[in-house]
Amino acid sequence: MGISPIGWLHTLGSLPAIPLAAYMLFKHGRIVPETRAGRAYFWFMLLGVLTVYPIAHQPISAIVASVTLAMLLLGYGIARWRTAKTFWKHVQTIALSISVFLLMVPTVSESLRRLPVGHPLVTDLKDPLLLGVQGALFLALIIGVPLQMLALRRQKILQAG
């Protein structure tokens, strides 16, 4: 498979972020920085993002890593404001949802292009399987974010009432 030591650090370091994100999305409907899972998600994502730069072979990789880092820092920076109002909770939720999306797109792309070893499922970036999976991830983002916004609104209404 030809992965360098920093590539292994990147892969194994960022993998735990996937089940952590899934857990929080199912349990809370969003990434919640204040939880134990939320704190772990931050550190695994940070490790994954920062280790992209030395292994990136294409400029797009560094761009995706930079946008992911910005979304992660925005989402967790807002969490540090104890007085974050509803608007900022929405911004936080959107930013961290984008961070999950930006984690999953390269993860799926690399996995489909490398596995199974010797006979990967996808050999071309324009393969219909890869494009379909990426499209499904994008669809999950554009449907999921409004659902999260609705859930936050309902939560606020329940707390007020």
- Structure tokens that stand for 159 in this block: 């707390």
pLDDT in tens, 85-130: 778 899 999 999 999 999 999 999 999 999 999 999 999 999 999 9
3 state DSSP class of 118: coil
Tokens encoding 135: 């499209």
CA nearest neighbour of 143 among 102, 104, 97 = 97
In terms of pLDDT, which residue wins out, 11 or 160?
A: 11
Secondary structure letter of residue 66 according to DSSP: H
Query: Is the model's pLDDT at 161 over the cut of 70?
Result: no
Residues 6+ apart with CB under 8 A from 26: none
Counting every residue, how long is the chain?
A: 161
pTM, to two decimals: 0.92
